Amino acid sequence: MTNKFKINRTNLSLWKGIAMVAGTFSFIICMLVLVNYIQINRIDPVNTEVINSLVDRLNDNPNDDQLREQIREMDLLVRKAYFTNQWQVKAGGYLFLFGIIVTAIALQLFYAGKRQLPQISEEEEENIILFREKARKWIVVGGFGMVGITMIFAFLTHKELGNQFTEAAKIAKAEKTENTQSDVPVVEVVGKEEIAEPVVEEKVAEEFKEETPKEETLVSVAKKEEVAVEKAKTNSYKGTYPTKEMMANFPSFRGPGGNAIAYQKNIPNEWDGASGKNILWKQPVPIHAYNSPVIWGNKLFLSGANATSREVYCYDRNNGKLLWTAKADQIPGSPANPPEVTPDTGHAASTVTTDGKSVFAVFSNGDLIAVDMSGKRQWAKNLGVPDNHYGHSSSLIVFEDKLIVQYDQKKNSKVMALSTSNGEEIWKTVRKVRVSWSSPVIVNNGGQVEVILAADPCIASYDAYTGKELWKIDCITGEVGPSVAYANGIVFALNEYASLVAIKPGEKSEILWEAYDYLSDVPSPVAYNDLLFVVTSYGAVACYNAKAGEILWEKEFDAGFYASPILADGKIYLMDRKGVMHIFKAEKEYVELATSSLGEKSDASPAFADGRVYIRGEKNLYCIGK
């Protein structure tokens, strides 16, 4: 036997061994994925008996802090187990595919090497060739079959996990609230009289010390686009954002820029809906919805909707008179039937926005409408029915002449800027993200205006002029509801069953720190100076050192929160689901200032103007002042 023949024999043994090891490895991985799928169907990873029993005990003993902490630790373990299981399913699929590829390559080399062995008779060679062809056929069929089976079970396991958490979330949320619809008749436009718009007081201008951007001259749309591109190239935004006018008003969800900061002063702390203390007026809202009030001048705007009607309301914020109602109907492309929504989202969860010239509103069926300050329709269009299993809730926001719309859904997610004057698309950026319920936040970061969005799997920033992606960092998972917060060059984002992250934005974005103790699925955080305030839907509030990520204080409340906290005059205004406003100082230690009851439930965030607080309750709109 020659040396060459010995080498070939050695190579054949090597490749045969590799093929056997890789094949065995692939088989084991396939079985593990199969067992994992069977376990998921037998065991509910969310509603465990241990946690349920602890919750029952806590209901009997609500003041047991040790038991409350034990539940939180168990909940954290469930979260970690859930995402570990997801990782195992994905990793198992990839490992199995890798094993099959190695097995196929090793078998191919093994058979190729056998061709170099000593000559045999023609009859034996034909038999070997026939056997080899059959073997290859069955190996290929069997291999692809195992790949298919494993991938199916991996997909089903992953989907089953997601479904169980989704259904658990739906059940939990459905138990928390019931959607009610008002029987108040639709109120049409009240006359044609206009309310005089207030002039921004000089003392407000002095407080902010910012120059008002010069009025843009009337140019063609094409010229505007050229100017926008040029501004983007120079990366030097010369104006101020939010503008002085925006800060004097409350133009969008969570205030100017959507960053949960109000710039008004002398805001009252104490009121009582039952006795009428400091309640200046109270007015019913025709159709119930969960969006929050916005304010420009003497006018306050809301929207309401149900399965058959979609409306925008304008109130005189001084006396509560309903000035006009604008209907969002007869819109080209609008679907005949409304989409299915959950009771705690409804058909008008998105807060309207205004630039002082127009009011913009979007609804669950994708209808988007713009009306002027007297309620006259300017334009309307349908964006396509959102593929969203709870209902669309991302709020609108305006930057200069652009209406920013975050449209994250199960397929074809995107962010776009529409012309405020005619609704035409200025730019659109496709996003590779999953469905989300968060809203855009606009910040001026180092002379560049950024639109910052949150959705699984990333926090991403876009140029407000062009829609170009500026930076992106994968750091968030799950069904994202909270919007981001921003202060001192740091972006903060969080989500339930994920984590809280502090991000240094920019071309080289990075995570500065990460925490897991307090997470939210609905309320958004607020950042102020070196402090970050995080609110959870189950009733806990925590204050973090914004730079280091250390918890400075934590506080448990009896009722949960859906409304987002708003910072105003150095104080945090936080409305719980029972309609009680918790007011405390925005400081390193918890200092309670007041606890004021509205007299009815509320999930809306407050709005502020001229020393007054405006709150949307379950049925009524309130104005609170001294």
User: What span, in angstroms and rounded, lies between the C-alpha atoms of 263 and 268?
Assistant: 14
More confident residue, 22 or 549: 549
User: Do the beta carbons of residue 290 and residue 181 sit within 8 Å?
Assistant: no
Least confident of 5-14, 301-310, 331-340, 588-597: 5-14
Phi first, then psi: give them for residue 72, nearest 5 degrees. Answer: -60, -40
Cβ neighbours, 10 Å, residue 351 = 30
User: What span, in angstroms and rounded, lies between the C-alpha atoms of 421 and 224?
Assistant: 13
Residue with tokens 């001229």: 610
pLDDT band at residue 386 using 50, 70 and 90 as cut-offs: very high
Query: Mean per-residue pLDDT for 478-487?
Result: 97
Helix (H) / strand (E) element for 22: namely helix 3-42
pLDDT at 204: 39
More confident residue, 269 or 80: 269
User: Do the beta carbons of residue 331 and residue 286 sit within 8 Å?
Assistant: no
pLDDT cut 90: percent of the chain above it: 60
- CB-count burial class (<10 Å; 0-12, 13-18, 19+) for 368: buried
pLDDT at 502: 98
* Three-state DSSP class for residue 267: coil
Q: Decide if pLDDT at 192 tops 50.
A: no
- CB-count burial class (<10 Å; 0-12, 13-18, 19+) for 27: middle
What number of CA atoms fall less than 13 Å from residue 533's CA on the CB side? 27
* Biggest CA-to-CA distance, the chain: 108
Query: Mean per-residue pLDDT for 92-99?
Result: 74
Beta-bridge mates of residue 502: 492, 513
**What are 123-175's pLDDT values in tens digits?**
655 665 665 666 566 655 665 666 566 556 555 555 555 555 444 444 444 44
Query: Mean per-residue pLDDT for 417-437?
Result: 97
Query: Mean per-residue pLDDT for 264-277?
Result: 96
Least confident of 11-15, 77-81, 325-329, 406-410: 77-81
Q: Decide if pLDDT at 489 tops 90.
A: yes
User: Do the beta carbons of residue 619 and residue 288 sit within 8 Å?
Assistant: yes
Q: Decide if pLDDT at 197 tops 60.
A: no
Q: How high is the mean pLDDT of the chain?
A: 82
pLDDT at 214: 38
Query: Mean per-residue pLDDT for 308-326?
Result: 98
Phi first, then psi: give them for residue 296, nearest 5 degrees. Answer: -145, 120
Q: Decide if pLDDT at 220 tops 50.
A: no
Least confident of 130-134, 390-394, 412-416, 608-612: 130-134
Please give the order of strands across the beta sheet that includes 580-585: 261-262, 566-568, 571-575, 580-585, 592-597
CA angle 150–152–153, rounded 5-degree value? 65
Least confident of 64-73, 253-262, 304-313: 64-73
Q: Which of 447, 460, 378 is nearest to 419 (CA)?
A: 378
User: Do the beta carbons of residue 412 and residue 385 sit within 8 Å?
Assistant: no
Least confident of 145-154, 155-164, 251-260, 452-461: 155-164
Tell me if the pTM is above 0.85: no
Q: Decide if pLDDT at 377 tops 60.
A: yes
